Amino acid sequence: MARRMSLFARLQAAAAPLRERIHAHPFVRGLGSGDLAEDRFQFYLRQDYLFLIEYCRVLALASARAEDLAVAARFAGLLTQTLNVEMDLHRRFARKAGIAPEVLEATRPAPATVAYTNHLRLAAETGDLSTILAAILPCAHGYWEIASALRAEQGWDRHPRYAEWIRMYTSEEYEAFARWAADLLDRIAEALPAGREAALGEVYLRSQRYEYLFWEMAHRMEEWPV
């Protein structure tokens, strides 16, 4: 008898068409080819900085929701790492990309950034740990997938800053986190009622849609129309 796919694998399979569109998005393709316009990458970095601030709050709530102390400690460690190391790295990376510190700090969130981070905050503030994982995995696991696919192609290191981005999300540390988060969802799912999968699927799919919209926002350099 064939073994049933894990919950995360089923969520990935259900979102396969959308994930393929993300991988084929011109912004993502431009990262891999090195042809992405510098101003678009700068726009992305500024919005991603704001995203990371809200992501830290989600990690804090994930630690609070965890019943297992080891899981709580892992999320607390990720929060500390993100706040004290990753945010500083992001500032330095932005500076190398031509974004002055005062410009980065004065960035106004674009509509897609507001919508995506509000979705994540709602999932973290009202849901359990499985809901939080379903919400963050399209980003947490998806970035590793995207960067790994780009790194497998010829010429991925043509542009030094884009290559640095790809290396960051294909590092052993980042891969370990992405796999751990997916495995954690599968472990938690074993004890969940059967009816919960549909609700988690909706959260996961919405985050996947926002992932696409985030890339689209950066590509279009989306601003508020009014």
Active site residue 153: no
Q: How far is CA 24 from each of CA 49, 163, 219, rounded to the nearest angstrom?
A: 24, 18, 13
Active site residue 56: no
Candidates 67, 139, 202, 222; catalytic one: 139
Candidates 173, 211, 216, 223; catalytic one: 211
Active site residues: 139, 211
